[in-house]
Amino acid sequence: MTKKDKTGIIGYGVYIPRFRIKVEEIARIWGQPGEAVKKGLGVLEKSIPDMDEDTITISVEASRNAIKMANTNPDDIEAVYVGSESHPYAVKPTATIVAEANRITPVTTAADLEFACKAGTAGIQMCLGMVKSNQIKVGLAIGADCSQGRPSDALEYTASAGACALLIGNENVIATIDHTESYTTDTPDFWRREGATYPSHGGRFTGEPAYFRHVISAAKSIMKHTNTSPDDFDYVVFHEPNSKFPLATAKMLGFPKEKVEPSLTVKYIGNTYSASSMIGLAAVLDIIKPDDRILMVSYGSGSGSDAFIFTITDEIEKHRGLVPTVQNYLDHKQYLDYAFYTKHRGKIKIH
Amino acid sequence: MKEIAVVGVGNTKIGEWYDISLRELTDEAISKAIQSANIDPKEIGGTFVGSMSSGIFNQQEHLAALVGPHSGINAPAVRVENACASGGSALRVAMMAINAGFYDTALVVGVEKMTDLIDIGDVTTALGTAADGEWELGVGATFPALYALIMRAHMHKYGSTLEEFASVSVKNHKNGSLNPDAQFRKVVTMETVMNSRMIAEPVRLFDCSPVSDGAAAVILTAKDGAKKYTDDPIYIKGSGAGTDHIALHMRESLTSMQATKRAAETAFKMAKITPKDIDFIEVHDCFTVAEVITLEDLGFCKVGKGGKFSLDGETALNSTISVNPSGGLKSKGHPVGATGIYQVIEIFHQLRNEAGKRQVSKNDIGVTQNIGGSGASCVINVFSRGA
Amino acid sequence: MSVPRTWRNRRALYSLEGSKCQKCGKYYFPGRTRCLDCNTSGLENHNFSGTGKVATYSWVYTPPKGFNNRIPYCLAIVELDEGPKLTTQLVAVEEGDVEIGMPVEFSFRKISSEGDEGVITYGFKFRPKNYPNHLKKK
């Protein structure tokens, strides 16, 4: 395999805001049994952005890390896609700011993507296609969200903030993308109408016909088409709306929980939506060895799953220690109570 | 330079004058100045108006045309803007006009009507326009914060203390309690100052000058004709101005103001004096640290010791040097564009022994120092009775 | 805040673009075209490394319009490693964390916003150097 033969990840970076709120603290406000909620979700706490952070700022931070790790010349990046369901502007791209802040402009394409929690992985596929077809040299795909849950709604326990940026290229690849495919149907399990502050969801309908059906179908399909089985993968990463769903999915597909647990950052930061499966992937990339293989399946409500198979190269060792790891961001945290949480999330109107 | 005399002065009391308009303020000051000089308004050759932000505070630009004619003075009028040094700068422009031979006599008015804005955020932003709009105000700087940056740097570099800075406020309030035109005529204690509300740490409320309304006017004339208007004119013996980068972070020092040093060098040389010759001075204590740094920059004490100099009482009324006998900006009030003219009026009264309870005993040479922004502009003038 | 004004400054705000005199080596932030020291014209753009140290700071309790969502916030003058100073906010710090001489680095944040419907200004703020590992012992 020559250097140019394979396309894949040449650098990755994450950013997780430093503030956290514990699940029990949210439960306390709404008269719910905190311990039971925590156990049911498999989530201890979730991340909260600072008052001057949003999807754009955390996308910039994550992409700065990715570029630093890859040591890429920004001029070589010719596509920037930011997937999010919390773009600060309804009209006006996040991607242009990310591109400008990283000196990628002006010779680049840039666009915002939205597909609930899988908009980031959609960006990976778009970059992959453009690099493989020699349209561009390097593409930047970002999944980022500062998600909002309606107060007292079940989503409030998990809707959190984080970003992950992947650089897709074909030189100095640290993880090849061996295959990708998607599974998509029209399944309205979660939505937010134009102008609405908070998303709505279909309760238990978000489970079996939505998350599980799409993730499992995509996983089975990609393994079938690549003639692989759970034994061929050292790690598996799923979208992490909570710990329960990915653990159950692993079990149903026949993956031991040891293969999925390293990706489960959701326990400590909650559901980072478009960044969720990508931060899970980054957490695995932080600890993985060359030649290991990863199966990743994202999930976006609406609904769809993107499945990927990655193989790690020796190159990864050269890029370690250059930027903060997922664990580094998990470790640096400050807790907020519910009052400060509402202030940070703009739920108190002061203007 | 042709020597110039101040032959009449007038001002409003400083305060929060919600029921008095901008033009009513200037009219009161001008009327008093005309009366003081006993001058026929027709003899005024030109009007110079110093104001920092009438556009933002009162939605009124083209201020000179409002001010002069409203008071029945139809001489050519122009506004001079140099932030909080607008008053001092207007005075200098008037001096230049007289020296250039355009006019024999000029009216200089300083005014700021700040309380038309009632939201403190709006006032903070309006004053903030005296800083670098893009690279200071635009990133969250305020004036108290800029002076807090200076104060912190001073404390770090020289070990100056909060108590030293507080002593400036206490002394100025004491002087101001004796000034019937002052906004705050109340003596305050060290405890009051040091426990007052935090504005921009380490700057507290009582380190700051207030938001004020006020207008002040002086009539200048060439020395030769001065006695026509008054038996006791005072003379401008030296005048200097200094300018530095508008942004604090662009300047050579965070703890010293080059604009003050440059202005002083010119003014003192012209007046043929040294700091030792100065009996009393009105300095620009918009924040307590500004007075401390000015004491150092003007050479009244060692660099870094301005605070101690103040705490030791060396700047009190009739001590080593009387600093801000009027009460300064802190107690007398700080209608920004008018401040430079109020300072001149204080000198006028002190030199003529008209300052009542706050009269300084040694009063041969008085000086004004008027700062614009966080130290980007400075005007210094030296006055005495003798021509 | 004027849209053209912040747009014009976007590279300085977003990634600390300034300039450097090729002749005498002096750096400028924000950038300029003529060197004030040696009068050389046509200075080239320079991207600052984004690291520096705190020259002085204050915790602001009375902010200007549009900055009142976080009180107090830390305003500082930072001296960049290349020499120029700039005024900025420090983030990821609480009162008591900041001291003169503290090493800091570039951070990308929202600076101001014109209400809920106006344009958002983004740009540099600074945070402790080696964030988020700044508290770990070397």
Among partner residues B134, B202, B254, which is closest to C77 by beta-carbon distance?
A: B254
Is B127 domain-assigned? Answer: no
Residue C115 burial (10 A CB sphere; 0-12, 13-18, 19+): exposed
- Give pLDDT tens digits for B318-372: 999 999 999 999 999 999 999 999 999 999 999 999 999 999 999 999 999 999 9
> Which of A295, A107, A85 lies closest to A190 in space, CA to CA?
A85
Residue-wise pLDDT for B39-52, tens only, equals 999 999 999 999 99
Whether A351 sits among the annotated catalytic residues: the reply is: no
Q: What is the pLDDT of residues C80-132, one digit of tens each?
A: 999 999 999 999 999 999 999 999 999 999 999 888 889 999 999 999 999 99
Answer whether A3-174+323-344 and A176-316 agree in fold.
yes
Q: Which of B200, B228, B256 delimits the end of a domain?
A: B228
The domain of B277 spans 140-208+237-384
Q: Hey, are the CB atoms on B201 and C85 less than 8 Å from each other?
A: no
Would you say residue A13 has pLDDT above 60? yes
For B88-229, strand residue ranges (E) read: 105-113, 198-201, 203-204, 213-222
Average pLDDT over residues C16-33: 97
The model's confidence at residue A346, banded by pLDDT at 50, 70 and 90, is confident
Is B378:B85 a contact under the CB 8 Å cutoff? yes
Residue B133 lies in a domain: no
Q: Quick check: C96 contacting A, CB < 8 Å?
A: no
DSSP string, A43-60: --EEEE--TT--HHHHHH
- pLDDT score of A2 more than 50: no
* Reported confidence tier of residue A176, pLDDT bands at 50, 70, 90: very high
Q: List the domain boundaries for chain A.
A: 3-174+323-344, 176-316
Q: What is the pLDDT of residue A1?
A: 41
Q: B167 lies in a domain?
A: yes
Residues A231-269: tens digit of each pLDDT: 999 999 999 999 999 999 999 999 999 999 999 999 999
Inter-residue long-range contacts of C25-30, CB under 8 Å, 24+ positions, other chains counted: C26/C83, C27/C80, C27/C82, C27/C83, C27/C84, C28/C84, C29/C80, C29/C84, C29/C86, C30/B134, C30/B135
Interface of A with C in 75-94 (CB under 8 A): 88-89
pLDDT, residue C69, reads 77
pLDDT, averaged across chain A: 96
- Residues in chain C within 8 Å Cβ distance of A103: 11, 15, 47
- Phi and psi torsions of A6, nearest 5°: -115, 145
Distance CA B338, CA A270 (A): 58
Confirm whether the ipTM is greater than 0.85: yes
Residue A4 pLDDT > 70, yes or no?
no
**Contact (CB<8Å) A53/C132:** no
User: Are the beta carbons of A332 and C91 separated by less than 8 Å?
Assistant: no
Q: Which band of pLDDT confidence, cut at 50, 70 and 90, is reported for residue B133?
A: very high
How confident is the model over B216-244, as pLDDT tens digits? 999 999 999 999 999 999 999 999 999 99
State yes or no: is B173 an active-site residue: no
Give percent of chain C above pLDDT 70. Answer: 99
Within a domain: residue B124?
A: no
Residue A106 distance to chain C (closest CA, Å): 12
* Per-residue pLDDT tens over the stretch A23-68: 999 999 999 999 999 999 999 999 999 999 999 999 999 999 999 9
Catalytic residue among B154, B173, B284, B334: B334
Reading phi first (left if > 0) and then psi (alpha if -120 to 50, else beta), residue A254 is in left
State yes or no: pLDDT of B6 exceeds 60.
yes
Q: Report if residue B135 sits inside a domain.
A: no
* Predicted local distance difference test score (pLDDT) of residue B130: 97
Closest residue, chain C, to B155 (C-alpha): C56
Cis peptide before A262 (omega within 30 of 0): no
Cβ distance of B144 and C86 shorter than 8 Å: no
pLDDT of A3 strictly over 90: no
- C-alpha A223/C-alpha B257 separation (Å) is 72
The three-state secondary structure class of C103 is: strand
* CATH numeric code, A176-316: 3.40.47.10
Q: What value, to the nearest 5°, has the Cα angle with vertex B73 and ends B68 and B78?
A: 40
Compute the average pLDDT of residues B65-80.
98
Q: Tell me what the mean pLDDT of segment A154-166 comes to.
A: 97
**Quick one: what percent of chain B has pLDDT higher than 90?**
98
Instruction: Report the residue of chain A nearest C71, measured CA to CA.
Output: A51
Mean pLDDT of C69-83: 95
Q: What is the pLDDT of residues A133-146, one digit of tens each?
A: 999 999 999 999 99
Residues of C in contact with A54 (CB under 8 A): 110, 120
To which residue do tokens 């009449």 refer? B8
Question: Does C122 sit within 8 Å of A332, measured CB to CB?
Answer: no
Q: Do residues B201 and B218 both lie within one domain? A: no
Pairwise CA distance, residues B293 & B347, whole Å: 21
C-interface mutation test, from B56, B118, B123, B134, most C Cβ less than 10 A away: B134
Inter-chain contacts counted by CB atoms under 8 A, chains A and C: 64
Fold of A3-174+323-344: Peroxisomal Thiolase; Chain A, domain 1 (3.40.47)
Closest approach of C101 to chain A, Cα-based (Å): 22
Tell me: do B380 and B347 sit in the same domain.
Answer: yes
- For residue C138, the model assigns a pLDDT of 58
Residue B130 resides in a domain = no
Q: B44-67 burial, b for 16+ CB within 10 Å, e for fewer? A: bbbbbbbbbbbebbbebeebbebb
Mark whether B215 and B242 lie in a shared domain: no
Q: How far is C22 from chain A (nearest CA, A)?
A: 22
What pLDDT, in 10s, does the model give residues B159-182? Answer: 999 999 999 999 999 999 999 999
Q: What is the DSSP letter of C131?
A: T
Q: How far is C136 from chain B (nearest CA, A)?
A: 27
For B190-214, what is each residue's pLDDT tens digit? Answer: 999 999 999 999 999 999 999 999 9
Nearest to C75 among B121, B124, B141 (CB): B141
Q: Place C137 in a pLDDT band, splitting at 50, 70 and 90.
A: confident
Is B1 part of the contact surface with chain C (CB cutoff 8 Å)?
no
Interface test with C, best of A14, A50, A52 (most C CBs within 10 A): A52
Which pLDDT value is given to residue A5?
Answer: 60
Could you tell me what percent of chain B has a pLDDT over 70?
100
Comparing C-alpha atoms, which of A172, A179, A201, A199 is closest to residue A189? A201
Which of A60, A324, A329 shows the shortest C-beta gap to C108? Answer: A60
Confidence of residue B246 (pLDDT cuts 50, 70, 90): very high
Q: For the residues C43-53, what does the mean pLDDT come to?
A: 97
- Whole-number Å distance between alpha carbons of B150 and C58: 9
Nearest Cα residue to A325 out of A314, A334, A316: A316
Q: Which of B164, B166, B176 has its CA nearest to residue B317?
A: B176
Nearest by CB to C77, which of B119, B149, B202? Answer: B149
Number of domains, chain B: 2
Collect all residues with Cβ–Cβ distance below 8 Å to A221 and sequence separation of at least 6.
A181, A183, A307
Which residue of B lies nearest to C84 if distances are taken between CA atoms?
B250
The pLDDT, as a whole number, for residue C67 is: 79
Confidence band of B387 (pLDDT split at 50, 70, 90): low
Distance from CA of C35 to the nearest CA of A (A): 24
Write the CATH number for B62: 3.40.47.10
Are A306 and A297 spatial neighbours (Cβ–Cβ below 8 Å)? Answer: yes
